[in-house]
Amino acid sequence: MIRCAKILSGLVLYTAGASADVVGESLQQADILWDKTVEYAGATLDRARRLWREEHPEDAQLWEDLIPRLDEVIVLQDRQRQLPESAWFGDDQASNTDDINALLDEVADILIGDNTLRERMRELTAAMADNRQAVVQLKRRKMSAPSDSMWRKTVADIEDEIAKRERLLAEQRQAMADLHTEAAAELRAMGLDIDAEGLEFLLSTVVGDNVMDMTLAFEQVRALTEQLETLTVESREDLPTARRYYGMYVVLLKTLDHMHAALLDGIATDYLPRIDAIARRARELQQETQTLIAQRPSKVLESNLAAQRLTIEAAGRYAEYLKGQQRQVEASRQRLTQDIAVAQNTYDTVKMSGDLVAMMQDSRQLLDSLFRLQVPPLRAFENLEMKREFQRLTSALRQESV
């Protein structure tokens, strides 16, 4: 950020010391060139696609998907100030903002891409749930099964099936542990300080997927920024093209900010209120159960009370974790917002492509540190009961209503 300030400060000093005619002529010429941006757009995209295919074949499809959306966001942002705040007919600033946000959602989805490991985890999680349910049903059938029969499954038959299911469940647990180890290694390579145990905890929370998505998006933006730097340098003789490349870079930063905002909104307006509601209901049930126990003690009520206490404790820990995640993301977003403000200001005012490159390089250094998005300390589950309770609460939070 200091370097950014120096760049802008130097630009101001240069402008103040230059001849008014020279400065005016330069700015006028730059404006004329910028007015022809639409004319250059086709050539810009062709040149970008050609270079990316030749030098970055692995990213060719990524850019094919990104370019039209980035270019459209640039156009919408440039016309934002010209629109009325509200209008009965036609576009206004609110509708334009909605269009921009919808495009940023699309850009975020493209940056995240297909996560094969996470999909395998989801499939394995569903298979394990089906397997556990099958074991429960088999144990129920065992209670009424005959000890000997030619037509019905006997107790021994059902016990064999249960044993097979339990062996399969053990294999599935090991496969899941292997997936956690593999995914954690990939995330560490991207800069997220996490191990397999921490990843298991992270994915047991309702924001786990969001954190992984943001990490993947940060990595993509960092890599794409390097390529945009190259393109901006290549286009120094074509100021509108250079400015458009820089505009793409600004949109990528705003996509990261958009993802931050979505996660913070989800925590503040959805997850925390709902986890509080779950805890509140559990405390009400606890009081009712204690009253019933005082009137007529029973093992069923004692079991209910223990389950209610577990829910209250897990909900408290869950809320604590979500608030820690909220603070962390807010701090990350504050730094990112400052960088976006400087980048947008530079895009709006600077006409020299060299300064655009310098600004982009300076901001990428910030991304290198900001991208290492840290989650609050992840602690292992103390026992299987707490782990399952966290998973149950996460399932409840992912539903549309408590």
Q: How far is Cα 134 from Cα 247, in angstroms, rounded to an integer?
A: 55
State which amino acid sits at residue 154.
T
Q: How many domains does the chain have?
A: 2
Cα dihedral sign for 386, 387, 391, 392? negative
Q: Is the pLDDT of residue 5 over 70?
A: no
- Closest by alpha carbon to 221, among 187, 244, 253? 253
Instruction: Give the mean pLDDT of 155-160.
Output: 89
Q: 375 vs 192, which has greater pLDDT?
A: 192
> Residue 197: inside a domain, yes or no?
no
| Token digits of residue 364 | 């990428």
Give the contacts of 134 (CB within 8 A, at least 6 positions apart).
Answer: 165
pLDDT digits (tens, 9 = 90+) for 53-97: 555 555 677 888 888 888 888 888 888 778 877 777 777 888 888
User: Are residues 121 and 23 located together in one domain of the fold?
Assistant: no
Q: 122 vs 19, which has greater pLDDT?
A: 122
User: Are residues 7 and 101 located together in one domain of the fold?
Assistant: yes
SS3 (DSSP) at 77: helix
Q: How far is Cα 49 from Cα 66, in angstroms, rounded to an integer?
A: 11
> Residue 152: inside a domain, yes or no?
yes
* Overall pTM > 0.85: no
pLDDT, residue 199, reads: 82
pLDDT, residue 11, reads: 26
Q: Which domain holds residue 78?
A: 2-113+206-398
Confidence of residue 134 (pLDDT cuts 50, 70, 90): very high
CB atoms closer than 10 angstroms to residue 358: 19
Question: For residues 233 and 357, is the Cβ–Cβ distance under 8 A?
Answer: yes
Helix boundaries (H) for 267-383: 272-295, 299-349, 353-370
pLDDT digits (tens, 9 = 90+) for 30-49: 333 334 333 433 444 455 55
According to DSSP, residue 82 is labeled T
User: Are residues 33 and 164 located together in one domain of the fold?
Assistant: no
pLDDT, residue 236, reads: 62
Question: For residues 236 and 354, is the Cβ–Cβ distance under 8 A?
Answer: yes
Domain boundary among 190, 223, 248: 190
User: Are residues 93 and 167 located together in one domain of the fold?
Assistant: no
User: Are residues 152 and 296 located together in one domain of the fold?
Assistant: no
User: Are residues 122 and 225 located together in one domain of the fold?
Assistant: no
End-to-end CA distance of the chain: 44
User: Are residues 346 and 384 located together in one domain of the fold?
Assistant: yes
User: Are residues 314 and 386 located together in one domain of the fold?
Assistant: yes
Query: If you search the block for the tokens 């931050």, which residue do you land on?
Result: 260
Question: For residues 353 and 274, is the Cβ–Cβ distance under 8 A?
Answer: no
Q: At 72, which helix (H) or strand (E)?
A: helix 60-80
User: Are residues 13 and 129 located together in one domain of the fold?
Assistant: no
Give the contacts of 81 (CB within 8 A, at least 6 positions apart).
Answer: none
User: Are residues 265 and 380 located together in one domain of the fold?
Assistant: yes
> Residue 16: inside a domain, yes or no?
yes
pLDDT digits (tens, 9 = 90+) for 337-387: 888 887 788 777 655 555 566 666 666 655 555 555 555 454 555 667 777
User: Are residues 341 and 233 located together in one domain of the fold?
Assistant: yes
According to DSSP, residue 267 is labeled I
Query: If you search the block for the tokens 């209120």, which residue do you land on?
Result: 273
